[in-house]
């Protein structure tokens, strides 16, 4: 037995047991019910965790020697860690994924930036961006990406992982599960925030041309994914929420090539947190219609407050889920969302970024979310994410999970 095989096989066996247990099967049903607007209670998840603070006893230390196998090992260790310490309603797919090796030339723009790290072990850093899209001539450098699929390397990995653990847990080829479109967040990395926001007022036509070129590039990317057979109908993770739903083919898909109508679209414009509703609609929503709006279902929003913009967001075709950030008024949002869409609530990650969790404050925050959801009959999920630190006290996360799960179960029992 090789070293990598000896590392992976016991982890794979534990992963398989987890994927087949009753709690995982119930979580699959719960998330499908949430996304199909018929859930009995909200689903709870924790994601985007400060892993650099969670490896006190070495259980997250990867030991495989082959680089891409270390990625598989990391997936196994992270999944098992969450199951042991902060499981909530996490979903574990009944297989290990081998992601298709896809290459992209990108839009040919190069980010120029300076970064500043407050914690050398944390990948979350401060960014200062140089404006590389100042002029009309600069816009000429934006090109549609060229997508290629390395089938030979993909199959090498598939066969390699199958030989190592395929007799323990199924191994499955995986493609692009959803279309992610974050045009204005990307523009902020090419321009910086100040120049971007000033030009929305001073040079609106310039901004329209910029977003038009980037939207067309994203549409070309989607066309190529579809033509090359790289889209995947079996989705589990939709950027920190679960993607399972009866409204899309999902794992039952059996025929032909997967199209954009078989997958989720995921759009956001976080940098638009400070712009008006009219400007948000004109410069982002109208363009989202052409990208994520062409997908079977749409999840819109991330950290930008959308509580008073629901009416423009719902102009995106096939909208199903809306993110409600800690900086939004959940009561206003829930009243506007009602039973029409999933309310994807994001509690404040600052609650765990302290030496000791303030449990009373947490109960007040979650109680308000649950009250708004119940009064308005919303299907909802509650996701703690963007956790850059837990105050170097993992128990904050463990307590968060136990308290929130207890409150959700009690409120909807």
| Residue boundaries of the structural domains of the chain | 3-411
pLDDT digits (tens, 9 = 90+) for 353-390: 999 999 999 999 999 999 999 999 999 999 999 999 99
* Average pLDDT estimate for 95-106: 96
* The predicted structure's pLDDT at residue 51: 95
Distance (Å, whole) CA 347 – CA 381: 11
User: Is 277 in contact with 309 (CB distance < 8 Å)?
Assistant: yes
Residue-wise over 247-277: b if at least 16 C-beta within 10 A, else e?
ebbbeeeeeeebebebbbbbbbbbbbeebee
Kindly indicate the confidence band of residue 259, based on its pLDDT and cuts at 50, 70 and 90.
Answer: very high
Residue 91 in this model has a pLDDT that exceeds 80:
yes
Distance (Å, whole) CA 142 – CA 125: 27
- Bridge-based pairing of strands 178-181 and 237-238 is unpaired
* The predicted structure's pLDDT at residue 255: 66
Which element (helix H / strand E) includes 286?
Answer: helix 286-288
DSSP state of 26: H
Kindly indicate the confidence band of residue 114, based on its pLDDT and cuts at 50, 70 and 90.
Answer: confident
Distance (Å, whole) CA 117 – CA 127: 9
Residue 59 in this model has a pLDDT that exceeds 90:
no
Region 3-411: CATH code:
3.20.20.210
Q: What is the percent of the chain where pLDDT is above 90?
A: 90
The alpha carbon torsion through 278, 280, 286, 291 (nearest 10 deg) reads -170
User: Is 220 in contact with 107 (CB distance < 8 Å)?
Assistant: no
User: Is 139 in contact with 94 (CB distance < 8 Å)?
Assistant: no
User: Is 299 in contact with 264 (CB distance < 8 Å)?
Assistant: yes
* Average pLDDT estimate for 146-168: 98
* Average pLDDT estimate for 135-147: 96
User: Is 220 in contact with 145 (CB distance < 8 Å)?
Assistant: yes
Distance (Å, whole) CA 28 – CA 54: 26
Instruction: Indicate the pTM of the whole model.
Output: 0.96
Closest CA to 176 of 221, 245, 230, 102: 230
With tokens 């270390």, the residue in question is: 70
Kindly indicate the confidence band of residue 128, based on its pLDDT and cuts at 50, 70 and 90.
Answer: confident
Distance (Å, whole) CA 400 – CA 381: 15
Work out the mean pLDDT of the chain and round it to a whole number.
Answer: 95
Distance (Å, whole) CA 259 – CA 222: 10
* The predicted structure's pLDDT at residue 253: 67
Residue 413 in this model has a pLDDT that exceeds 70:
yes
pLDDT digits (tens, 9 = 90+) for 294-333: 999 999 999 999 999 999 999 999 999 999 999 999 999 9
114 against 379, higher pLDDT: 379
Distance (Å, whole) CA 384 – CA 199: 34
Closest CA to 378 of 331, 309, 413, 316: 331
DSSP state of 377: T
């Amino acid at each position: 037995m090789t070293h990598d095989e000896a590392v992976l096989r016991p982890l794979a066996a534990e992963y398989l047991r987890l994927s087949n247990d009753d709690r995982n099967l119930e979580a699959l049903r719960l998330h499908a019910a949430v996304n199909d607007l018929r859930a009995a209670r909200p689903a709870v998840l924790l994601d985007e965790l400060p892993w650099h603070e969670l490896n006190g006893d070495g259980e997250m230390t990867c030991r495989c020697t082959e680089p891409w196998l270390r990625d598989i090992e990391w997936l196994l260790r992270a999944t098992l860690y969450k199951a042991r310490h902060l499981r909530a309603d996490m979903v574990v797919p009944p297989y290990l994924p081998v992601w298709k090796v896809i290459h992209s030339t990108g839009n040919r723009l190069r980010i120029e930036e300076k970064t500043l790290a407050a914690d050398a072990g944390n990948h979350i850093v401060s960014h200062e961006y140089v404006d590389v899209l100042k002029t009309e001539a600069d816009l000429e450098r934006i090109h549609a990406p060229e997508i290629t699929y390395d089938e030979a390397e993909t199959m090498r990995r598939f066969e390699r992982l199958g030989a190592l653990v395929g007799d323990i847990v199924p191994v499955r080829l995986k493609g692009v599960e959803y279309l992610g479109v974050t045009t204005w967040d990307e523009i902020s990395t090419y321009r910086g925030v100040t120049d971007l926001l000033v030009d929305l007022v001073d040079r609106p036509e310039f901004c329209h041309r910029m977003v038009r070129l980037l939207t067309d590039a994203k549409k070309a990317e989607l066309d190529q994914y579809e033509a090359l057979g790289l889209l995947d109908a079996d989705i589990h993770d939709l950027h920190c929420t679960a993607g399972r739903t009866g409204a899309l083919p999902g794992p039952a898909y059996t025929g032909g090539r997967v199209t954009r109508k078989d997958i989720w679209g995921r759009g956001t414009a976080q940098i638009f947190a400070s712009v008006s509703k009219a400007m948000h609609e004109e410069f982002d929503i109208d363009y989202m219609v052409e990208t994520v709006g062409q997908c079977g279902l749409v999840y819109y929003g991330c950290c930008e407050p959308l509580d008073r913009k629901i009416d423009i967001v719902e102009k995106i075709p096939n909208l199903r889920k809306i993110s409600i950030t800690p900086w939004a008024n959940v009561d206003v949002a829930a009243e506007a969302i009602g039973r029409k869409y999933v309310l994807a609530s994001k509690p404040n990650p600052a609650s765990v970024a302290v030496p000791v969790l303030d449990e009373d404050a947490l109960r007040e925050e979650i109680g308000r979310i649950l009250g708004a959801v119940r009064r308005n009959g919303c299907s909802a999920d509650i996701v703690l994410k963007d956790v850059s630190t837990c105050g170097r006290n993992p128990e904050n996360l463990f307590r968060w999970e136990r308290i929130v799960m207890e409150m959700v179960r009690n409120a909807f029992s």
